[in-house]
Amino acid sequence: MKVGYSRVSTNEQDVSSQRAFLIAAGVDEERIYTDVGFTGRNLQRAGLHQALAAVRHGDTLVVPKMDRLARNVEDTLHIVRDLTERGVIFQMGHTVYDPRDPWSKLFLTFLAAIAEAEGGWISLRTQEAMARPSVRKKLKGRQPAIPPETDAAIAKLLDEGDRLDEGDQSAAEVARVFRISRSGVYRAAARHRIRLGGG
């Protein structure tokens, strides 16, 4: 099974071209997870975590471009290493990553470094723009460390584990996927229940 992931940094950007690429790459439209309004530096993205949680051994995670996954070499390599250890194939664009090939790993690292550098240049341009008062007025506040969408995704996965009677095992798996503590998993689920008015 192929699972796709797409991301755009602002609500004004269009994700349709990325979705079209993923569908053309063989990903079922219902298995495409998307984040809108998140930078690649922020790993607390509901769509990303849902995509990572959806793939199993033998599946393939497909991203249109490296910078859609992350804009940090360390984060990129961590995600790909985790996928490899789980037996999940990673595909960026039309290229399938082969963890046994040193050249493939070098290419992956090279692309991740380019994505990180591009992120740095974007940050510099943003800082220059922020110096203009008219731009500062339009800036939105920072996203919380764990946004409500991620809380909802965590709560959903935790509930699915409870229905399967996996209990603590499910919580540990969710914690690993979202890179938070097990207690953080339960806190996120509790926040989601409060938002829904369920105490």
Catalytic residue among 9, 17, 123, 170: 9
Contact 53, 157 (CB under 8 A): yes
Contact (CB, 8 A) for 82 and 186: no
9 assigned to active site: yes
89 C-beta neighbours (distance < 10 Å), count: 18
Give the helix ranges, DSSP H, for the chain.
16-24, 46-54, 66-69, 73-85, 102-130, 133-136, 148-163, 168-178, 182-195
For residue 98, what are its two tokens? 């082969």
The token duo for 110 is 């090279």
- Spatial strand order of the sheet with 95-96 comes to 32-36, 2-8, 60-63, 89-92, 95-96
**Which amino acids are annotated catalytic?**
9
